[in-house]
Structure 1
Amino acid sequence: MRPSPVTATVDFARDGVQHGFLRLPHSRDESAWGAIMTPITVVKNGDGPTALLTGANHGDEYEGPIALMELASTLEHAAVRGRVIIVPAMNYPAFRAGTRTSPIDKGNLNRSFPGRPDGSVTEKIADYFQRCLLPLADYVLDIHAGGKTLTFLPFAAAHELADKDQQARCLAAARAFAAPYHLLLLEIDCAGMYDTAAEALGKVFVSTELGGGGTASAETVAIARRGVRNFLSHAGILQAPPDPRPSRRLAMPDAACYVVSDAAGLLEMRVDPGRPCARAR
C-alpha cells in the first residue's frame, strides 16, 4: 500500500509541547496547490502510555473541539507522564462547515475506516488515523455529541467486545470519564467506524454522546472538559487526581432499544430524554 499523503508538522517522539498540523494536499479551484491543515497538539514527557484524544469526527458536534482546544492550549508537559495526542477536529473540513459529513466529498469519517491513501479526502484522513495515529496510542477517546439531528442524555460508552478483558478496561475508562451516564453501547452498524478500528487494534476506546440539538450547552462542555482530564488521570498519564462524579449505568440489552418510524411525517415528542417512560407509550 502506498504511504499516506498526510504529513505531520510535529515530532511525535519529542518531549515538550508542540502545536502543528496534519497537512493533506488538496488541489481545488480556490488553491491549486492547497492543503487541508488539521490542527494537532502533542504533549510528551518521557516514557509512559499514549492517549489519542479526538473531537469533531462529525463536524456539527462541538463539545469535543471546545474541550480539546482548551486542553491543547493549557496542558503542560510537566503535568503528564507519557504522551497526549490531541486532534480537536478530526474531520476538519466538516468542522469548518458545521456539518456532519465533509462538504468536499460528503464523506462520513466515522463510516470510512480503514480508509484509503488513494481515496477521497475523507478516506485519506481515515487512512492516516488508521495507519499512523492509532498504532501510537494505548488509550483512545473520541468525543461525540448529537449534532443537529439527535439529542442525548450525556453519556460515555464502551462496546460489547469478544475480548472481555479489553471490554472491561474500556468500560472502566468510560466510567472514569464521569459523565452523568455510562453504558455498553450497541451500535446499529459498526462497519467502517473509528471505534471499531481502534478496538480491533486492542486499544482502550471510549466514545461519548453529550447533548446535541445543533448546539453545545455550558453543562455539556463542562462534562467534556472534566471528562477528558478524568480519562487521562485514569490512564495514568495526567499526574493529577480525577474529579469523580456519580455516573448511572444504563442498560442496552438489544436492538429493541432503538425505536424508529417507518413513515415520514411530523414527530411529536411526548417524553423528554431521561424521564420515565412505559413501554406502551
Structure 2
Amino acid sequence: MRPSPVSATVDFAADGVQHGFLRLPYSRDDAAWGSVMIAVTVVKNGDGPTALLTGGNHGDEYEGPIALFDLARTLRAADVSGRVIILPMMNQPAFAAGTRTSPIDRGNLNRSFPGRPDGSVTEKIADYFQRVLLPMADVVLDFHSGGKTLDFLPFCAAHILPDKGQEAEAFRLVRAFGAPYSVRMLEIDAVGMYDTAAETMGKVFVTTELGGGGTASAYTAGIAIRGCRNLLMAAGILRGNPEAMPTQWLDMPDGSCFTFAEDAGLIRFCADLGDRVSKDQCIAMIYPTGRTGLEPTELRANRAGLFTARHFPGLVKPGDCVAVIADEVDGA
C-alpha cells in the first residue's frame, strides 16, 4: 500500500512537550498548494503506555475539544509516565465548519475506517490514524457528544467485546472516568467506526456522549476535563489518583432501546432525559405541519427504562432516531 500523504511536524518518539500539526496536502480553489492542518500535542516522559486522546471526530461536538485543548496547554512532561498524544479536532475540516461531516467531501470520519491513502480527505485522515497513530496507542479515549441533532445524559462508555480481558480493562477506565452515567454500549451502526478499528487491534477503547445540541455547558465541559485526567491516572500515565465520582451504570442490550420516527413533522416530547418510562408509554408525538387540525403520531417506548437520549431539533424526518431508553444496572 502506498504511504500516507500526511506528515507530522512533531516527533512522537521524543521526550518533552511538543505542539505541532499533522499536515495533509489539499489543493483547492483558494490555495493550490494548500494543506489541512490538524493540531496535535505530544507529551512524553520515558517508557510507559501511550494514550491517544481525540475530540472533534464529529465537528459539532464540543466537550471533547474543550477538555483536550485545556489538557494540551497544561500537561507537563514531568507529570507523565509514558506518552500522551492529544488531537482536539480529529476531523479538522468538520470542526472548522461546525458540522458533523467534512465540508470537503461530506465524509463522516467515524464511518471511514480503515481509510485509504489515495482516497478522499476524510479517508486519508482515517488511514493515518489506522496505520500510524492507533498502532502507537495502548489506550484510546475518543470524546463524543450529541452534536446538533441529539442530546444525551452525560455518559462514558465502552463496548461488550469477545476478548473479556480487553473488555474488563475498558470498563475499569470507564468507571475511573467518573461520568454521571456509565454505559455498556450497543452500536446500531458499527461499520467503519474508529471504535471498531481500535478494538480490532486490541486497544483499550473508551468513548463518551456528554450532552448535545451543538454546544457545551459548564457542567458537561467540567465532566470532560475531570474525566480525561481521571482516565489517564487510572491508566498509570498521569501521576495522581482518580477523583472518585458516583456513576449509574446503564445497559443498552438490543435494538429495542432505540425509537425511530416514521413520519416527518414537529416533535413534542412527553418525557424528559432522566425520566423512568414504562413499556408502551407515549414518549413523543409528531405533529404534521402541512395543515392544522390533524392528529399527531404517537411514539411509544419499546421497553421500560431510563430516558437516556433524544432527538434535539424541533423538526424530525422519517428515519431519525428520536429516543434511546437504557436499563439501569449494577456496576460493570
**TM range, normalised to the smaller chain?**
over 0.9
**Secondary structure of the corresponding residue to residue 189 of structure 1:** coil
Within-5 A mapping of 1:169-208: 169-208=169-208
Q: Which structure has the highest helix share of the two?
A: 1
**Secondary structure of the corresponding residue to residue 140 of structure 2:** strand
- Alignment pair present for 1:36 and 2:30: no
> How many residue pairs get matched?
281
Unaligned runs of 5+ in 2: 282-332
In 2, distance between residues paired with 1:4 and 1:253? 38
Q: What is the TM-score with the length of structure 2 in the denominator?
A: 0.84
Task: Measure how far apart 1:84 and its partner are.
Answer: 0.1
**Secondary structure of the corresponding residue to residue 146 of structure 2:** coil
Matched with 1:273 is 273
Within-5 A mapping of 1:230-241: 230-241=230-241
- 1:250-278 per-residue CA deviation (whole Å, 9 max, x = no partner) reads 12111100111222122111111111111
In 2, distance between residues paired with 1:64 and 1:30? 30
Within-5 A mapping of 1:157-172: 157-172=157-172
Matched with 2:291 is none
Matched with 1:118 is 118
- Alignment pair present for 1:93 and 2:93: yes
Matched with 2:254 is 254
Task: Measure how far apart 1:68 and its partner are.
Answer: 0.2
Within-5 A mapping of 1:13-24: 13-24=13-24
Matched with 1:56 is 56
Matched with 1:11 is 11
RMSD: 0.6
In 1, distance between residues paired with 2:13 and 2:243? 30
Letter in 2 for 1:248: Q
In 1, distance between residues paired with 2:97 and 2:214? 13
Structure 1 range deviating more: 93-102 or 243-252: 243-252
In 2, distance between residues paired with 1:40 and 1:214? 23
- 1:81-128 per-residue CA deviation (whole Å, 9 max, x = no partner) reads 000000000000000000000000000000000000000000000000
Q: Which has the higher contact order (CA 8 A, sep 6+)?
A: 1
Task: Measure how far apart 1:42 and its partner are.
Answer: 0.1
- 1:10-52 per-residue CA deviation (whole Å, 9 max, x = no partner) reads 0000000000000000000010001001000000000000000
Task: Measure how far apart 1:184 and its partner are.
Answer: 1.1
In 1, distance between residues paired with 2:265 and 2:279? 22
- 1:43-91 per-residue CA deviation (whole Å, 9 max, x = no partner) reads 0000000000000000000011111001000000000100000000000
In 2, distance between residues paired with 1:251 and 1:11? 41
**Secondary structure of the corresponding residue to residue 268 of structure 1:** strand
**Secondary structure of the corresponding residue to residue 144 of structure 1:** coil
Within-5 A mapping of 1:131-142: 131-142=131-142
Matched with 2:218 is 218
Letter in 2 for 1:210: L
Q: What is the TM-score with the length of structure 1 in the denominator?
A: 0.99
Matched with 2:302 is none
Structure exhibiting the larger radius of gyration computed from Cα positions = 2
**Secondary structure of the corresponding residue to residue 151 of structure 1:** strand
In 2, distance between residues paired with 1:58 and 1:101? 6
In 1, distance between residues paired with 2:261 and 2:172? 34
Matched with 2:152 is 152
In 2, distance between residues paired with 1:270 and 1:132? 47
Matched with 1:244 is 244
**Secondary structure of the corresponding residue to residue 259 of structure 1:** strand
**Secondary structure of the corresponding residue to residue 13 of structure 2:** coil
Task: Measure how far apart 1:174 and its partner are.
Answer: 1.1
Q: Which structure has the highest strand share of the two?
A: 2
In 2, distance between residues paired with 1:253 and 1:13? 41
Matched with 1:73 is 73
**Secondary structure of the corresponding residue to residue 259 of structure 2:** coil
**Secondary structure of the corresponding residue to residue 30 of structure 1:** coil
Structure 1 range deviating more: 100-109 or 237-246: 237-246
In 1, distance between residues paired with 2:241 and 2:5? 40
Unaligned runs of 5+ in 1: none
In 2, distance between residues paired with 1:226 and 1:136? 24
Task: Measure how far apart 1:280 and its partner are.
Answer: 2.1
Task: Measure how far apart 1:242 and its partner are.
Answer: 1.0
Q: Which runs of 4+ in 1 moved over 6 A?
A: none
